[in-house]
Amino acid sequence: MELDHLTAPRTVARFLQHAEGTAAWIDDSTGQLKTGPFYDGLLFHRAVNRSGFKVIQSGSRTATGRRSIGFVLPDDELARDHETYVISMANRGPNTNSSEFFVVGNEAARGLDVPARHIVFGRVPTSDTDGRDTVDAIVASVPSGSDAAPDPPVTLNSVAIRRENGVDFDPDAQGVPVLAPHPFSVRFDGSEFDLLAEQQPRSVLRIGHGDDLQSWTTVERFLDATASSAPFFRVTDLGEGKSTHFFRTFLTTYPSDGVYPDDLENRTLTVNDPAIGTFVIEIGPDGRTGDWSFADPAQDGEVPDSLNTPDPYGSDAAFIVNGFTVQGISFPFIRFRLGTDSATPTKVSGRASGRLARFNFDLFAPNPVFQVLPVNGTFTMTR
């Protein structure tokens, strides 16, 4: 396949780093920090064989596509269409590219072009008939009309990089995040202790802890660009009452264009979906509760709680909006991925992708089982 480093420099840079093993990543099956070729030995865990949508997908060590390997990338050029045999990034919304990719088969996947959210970064060239035949064979390994794992399983044995037009392209100079182990200290006070880890602005700190080396719980904190220099992240009472407890810390450092805020305190979020309307959520000083309103039909109510998981390029945010009704249906929950395109000290704007949902558990479940209504549009956030 050919990679387009001119149109999608950051996407190609990270793909090259993973393929050649020059950047660290979190093994999403074990939680361990690793280096070395990432893609070697992975399955093509998904094949879709539907009219107008034929793709194969790889890049996940859990073969689920639902876990992070330690970072997100901002979107490169979004204007390219999903023609036959292009290679594109799989993601969960704006500015969430990571390691997963898919290859389009012998029918253009027009349904992926609007709304634009996937970065096309390469292609299986016309001259590579064997490569194109391989893509089509993997698609055909699942029944017509289905979306399933290829049967028998198909493995991506290895990725070899040959530089021709991109000899001078330096992946390390493209502004991609850096993931590395991070030092910490433990301070004891009687039977309790604090874990202290220094953290810089524009970074995500992950502290994993557990009673053994097999099962880990992760605590995260993102500090935005306005955070004070070198604060400490204190985690108190982890492992309290345990004779043995293990810790590991990783830090992902982002470049200067990572400008999304790390909280929702006293912020007004306005989301406009051309097909649904304009939704306004005002969050108060506690960063979780507030009020919501909708323009047409006019309605409003309280936000009794919310969840916000930010990163330097956006956030996964979910809000309880009891009483909200659209198209004659009551939707008590709304969930967004907000991806930043531009920012000033008082205003952030970008793209919103999400869903209105009728379910009452796990706001970030990837496959809600109750009725949902997709939301796609733009957002602004002011303070």
- What pLDDT is stored for residue 184 in this prediction? 87
Residue 22 has pLDDT above 60, yes or no: yes
Number of alpha helices (DSSP H) and beta strands (DSSP E) in the chain: 2, 28
* Spacing of C-alpha 181 from chain mean position: 21
- Give this prediction's pTM: 0.89
The torsion angles phi and psi of 231, rounded to 5 degrees, stand at -75, 165
* Same-domain status, 195 and 144: no
Residue 109 has pLDDT above 90, yes or no: yes
* Same-domain status, 20 and 151: yes
- What pLDDT is stored for residue 229 in this prediction? 61
Q: Which of 130, 155, 173 is the last residue of a domain?
A: 173
* Same-domain status, 232 and 343: no
* Same-domain status, 186 and 136: no
Least confident of 150-164, 234-248, 255-269: 234-248
Structure tokens given for 12: 């190609």
- What pLDDT is stored for residue 6 in this prediction? 95
* Same-domain status, 16 and 156: yes
- What pLDDT is stored for residue 241 in this prediction? 63
Query: In this predicted model, which residue has the larger pLDDT, 9 or 192?
Result: 9
Residue 368 has pLDDT above 80, yes or no: no
Whether 331 and 324 have beta carbons less than 8 Å apart is answered as yes
User: To the nearest whole number, what is the mean pLDDT of the chain?
Assistant: 89
Least confident of 186-195, 350-359, 361-370: 361-370
* Same-domain status, 218 and 329: no
Q: At which residue do the structure tokens 């037009």 appear? A: 165
Residue ranges of alpha helices (H) inside the chain are 9-20, 129-139
CATH number of the domain to which 208 belongs: 2.60.40
User: What contacts 231, CB < 8 A, 6 or more positions away?
Assistant: 198, 199, 223
pLDDT single digits (tens) 134-162: 999 999 999 999 999 998 999 999 999 99
DSSP 171: G
Q: Which of 201, 226, 253 is the last residue of a domain?
A: 253
Handedness of CA 343, 347, 350, 354 (dihedral sign): positive
Separation CA 285–CA 268 (nearest Å): 11
Burial class (CB in 10 A: 0-12, 13-18, 19+), 27: middle
- What pLDDT is stored for residue 372 in this prediction? 80
pLDDT single digits (tens) 38-48: 999 999 999 99
Query: In this predicted model, which residue has the larger pLDDT, 9 or 225?
Result: 9
Q: 108 in a domain, yes or no?
A: yes
* Same-domain status, 226 and 362: no
* Same-domain status, 14 and 142: yes
The domain containing residue 87 runs over which residues?
Answer: 2-173
* Same-domain status, 106 and 224: no
The torsion angles phi and psi of 130, rounded to 5 degrees, stand at -65, -40
pLDDT single digits (tens) 334-346: 999 999 999 888 8
Q: 291 in a domain, yes or no?
A: yes
Residue 16 has pLDDT above 60, yes or no: yes
* Same-domain status, 157 and 182: no
- What pLDDT is stored for residue 296 in this prediction? 81
Structure tokens given for 96: 């969430």
Structure tokens given for 69: 């390997």
Q: Which of 135, 154, 173 is the last residue of a domain?
A: 173
User: What contacts 252, CB < 8 A, 6 or more positions away?
Assistant: 70, 71, 177, 178, 179, 203, 204, 206
Least confident of 31-35, 173-177, 276-280: 31-35
Structure tokens given for 330: 């009551």
Q: 161 in a domain, yes or no?
A: yes
Q: What is the 3-state secondary structure (H, E, C) of 222-240?
A: EECCCCCCCCEEEEECCCC
Q: Cis bond leading into 297, ω under 30°?
A: yes
| β-sheet with 192-198: strand ranges across | 185-189, 192-198, 232-236
Q: 211 in a domain, yes or no?
A: yes
From 120, 166, 165, select the one nearest 7 (Cα to Cα): 120
Query: In this predicted model, which residue has the larger pLDDT, 331 or 214?
Result: 331
- What pLDDT is stored for residue 190 in this prediction? 64
Q: 259 in a domain, yes or no?
A: no
Q: 158 in a domain, yes or no?
A: yes
CATH number of the domain to which 52 belongs: 2.40.100.10
Separation CA 263–CA 345 (nearest Å): 13
Separation CA 364–CA 195 (nearest Å): 28
> Which of the listed ranges 78-82, 97-101, 111-115, 227-231 does the model predict with the highest average pLDDT?
97-101
Counted domains in the chain: 3
* 82-106: average pLDDT: 96
* Same-domain status, 169 and 216: no
The count of other CB atoms within 10 Å of the CB of residue 299 is 14
- What pLDDT is stored for residue 105 in this prediction? 98
Separation CA 230–CA 232 (nearest Å): 7
* Same-domain status, 132 and 42: yes
pLDDT single digits (tens) 166-221: 899 999 999 999 999 999 887 776 666 677 888 889 999 998 888 888 888 888 88
The torsion angles phi and psi of 64, rounded to 5 degrees, stand at -120, -25
From 379, 300, 382, 302, select the one nearest 341 (Cα to Cα): 379
Q: 56 in a domain, yes or no?
A: yes
Residue 128 has pLDDT above 70, yes or no: yes
* 65-92: average pLDDT: 88
Percent pLDDT > 90 in the chain is 66
- What pLDDT is stored for residue 61 in this prediction? 83
Separation CA 262–CA 255 (nearest Å): 16
